[in-house]
Amino acid sequence: MKTTIQINSETLERLKMFKQHPRESYEEVLNKLLDEAEEDPLSPEEIEDIQEALEEVKQGKVIPFSKVLKEAGIKLD
């Protein structure tokens, strides 16, 4: 059985980013995402940590990648 679901254009664009190849169906994309969610659900603490980190990014409280590399002594050529 097939059905149609309504999603907004922003959600569609987000789904497109998960495609591994252009011909992959949204059915396949959604099933992969659902499988991942079922296999390893996040704990409430992990969800809270992620939300806090996203807020810090929104507020600009980030360290540039170049600085992290420098502090770790890693040089990219």
CA atoms of 27 and 10, how far apart (whole Å): 17
Residue 51 confidence (pLDDT):
96
Contacts 24+ apart (CB under 8 A), 1-5: none
Whether the predicted model's global pTM rises above the 0.75 cut = no
In the chain, where the domains are located: 9-72
Three-state secondary structure of 21-53? CCCCCHHHHHHHHHHHHHHCCCCHHHHHHHHHH
pLDDT digits (tens, 9 = 90+) for 19-68: 999 999 999 999 999 998 888 888 999 999 999 999 999 999 999 889 99
Whose CA is closest to 17, among 32, 1, 39, 2?
Answer: 32
